[in-house]
Amino acid sequence: MKQDPAQALRDTGVRVTRQREALLKVLTEAEDHPDAAELHRRARTLDDSLSLATVYRTLSVLEREGVVLRLALENGGARYEVADAPHHDHIVDLDSGQITEFRSEKIEQLQREIAAELGYDIVHHRMELYCRKKT
Amino acid sequence: MKQDPAQALRDTGVRVTRQREALLKVLTEAEDHPDAAELHRRARTLDDSLSLATVYRTLSVLEREGVVLRLALENGGARYEVADAPHHDHIVDLDSGQITEFRSEKIEQLQREIAAELGYDIVHHRMELYCRKKT
DNA sequence: GTTCATGCAAATTGTTTGCACTAAT
DNA sequence: ATTAGTGCAAACAATTTGCATGAAC
């Protein structure tokens, strides 16, 4: 499933550059949901010339191409993930900041029904549960 | 239900100023979901000395007091609504930008179950359906 | 050889803050 | 009188952009 970054880039038709490979590799290997600055920090270890501007430009290209997803959580900057997994939503642990992914076909179905009743088709949606560990 | 802005302010224990009354009145009467700049524009017609800084400060106070809700949609700045209606979520029309409110107890119930399974209590959540009118 | 991507620094946008002043209590 | 709230301008953080250089095709 997790294919080579260079190949993924080639598949989208954009130019394969050192910088893009570094960024995509780092994002593919990330277990968490890093923001642009953090991706910059990590990818710099693979290509120390990489600038933050390029990180933003690349993320924006890859988002347009459907390769990465941008999460806009409540506070702070955007966070990113590779779009290789099936669609899912997020639980944010308010204390640790940890993000857990989940998926509910039942909820998605209900969402579709609600939208349809109002004459809408859902293009995409976002759902985040801001939680605290049960005591 | 929609009580007098001055009273609402008094109830929260903060000082009742011309500026706050103007802002809260404008927000209470808003049918849409304005952002800070738009609220500033509208409230200025009631109090032309009102500054944008005060708009932000007041919104932040009122959010802390539970009188207003801040929506952080996908793009652009935050949008606001008074917290007088029961909890609901939003459908965003991608073409017109129009925001429709909806509510699904079924979905909320499922959300709680999902969170509980992972050992979490939901503190709050957000769900937005980005839609296009059915053709 | 063209065209696209990059680095850098400067610009933008949305929001926050320090400070001296004014108004609500 | 005391304390909280305000306007203004400057400070900020996240992100974007113009431009000259450099690398991918």
pLDDT tens track for B98-122: 999 999 999 999 999 999 999 999 9
Residue in B closest to A112 by C-alpha: B129
Is B125's Cβ below 8 Å from some Cβ in A?
A: yes
Q: How far apart are CA B59 and CA B113, in angstroms?
A: 33
Q: Shortest CB distance from A125 goes to which of B114, B123, B130? A: B130
- pLDDT (average), residues A40-68: 96
Predicted confidence band at A2 (pLDDT cuts at 50, 70, 90)? low
What is the model's pLDDT at position B97? 87
Q: Which of A133, A87, A82 has its CA nearest to residue A111?
A: A87
Q: Which residues of A touch B118 (CB under 8 A)?
A: 91, 100, 102
Inter-chain CB proximity B130 and A107 less than 8 Å: no
Candidate from B94, B102, B111 with C-beta closest to A123 = B94
Amino acid at B1: M
pLDDT of residue A76: 80
Residue nearest to nucleotide C6 (CA to C1'): A54
| For residues A62-86, average pLDDT | 92
| CA angle, residues B134, B92, B127, in degrees to nearest 5 | 115
Distance of alpha carbon B128 from alpha carbon B107, whole angstroms: 13
% of chain A residues with pLDDT over 70: 98
- At B2, the pLDDT band (50, 70, 90 cuts) reads low
Predicted confidence (pLDDT) at residue A117 exceeds the cutoff of 70: yes
pLDDT of residue B135: 83
pLDDT of residue B91: 96
8 A C-beta contact, residue B24 and residue B8: yes
Flag whether pLDDT at B1 surpasses 70: no
Size of the A and B interface in Cβ pairs below 8 Å: 103
Residue B98 · residue B91 · CB < 8 Å: no
Q: Tell me, what's the pLDDT at A75?
A: 79
Q: Does A105 touch chain B (CB under 8 A)?
A: no
Quick check: A85 pLDDT over 90?
no
Q: Which nucleotides of strand D come closer than 7 angstroms to any CB of the protein?
A: 4-10, 13-18, 23-25
Considering only the beta carbons, identify the residue of A118, A123, A130 that sits closest to B125.
A130
Give the pLDDT score at A34: 96
Residues 6 or more apart from A32 whose CB is under 8 A from it?
A99
Backbone angles phi and psi of A62, in degrees to 5? -70, -30
Q: Report which of residues B59 and A135 the model is more confident about.
A: B59
Q: At what angle do helices A18-29 and A36-44 cross, to 10 degrees?
A: 110
Q: Does A91 touch chain B (CB under 8 A)?
A: yes
pLDDT > 90? residue A43: yes
Over residues B32-74, the pLDDT tens digits come to 999 999 999 999 999 999 999 999 999 999 999 999 999 999 8
Average pLDDT over residues A3-31: 93
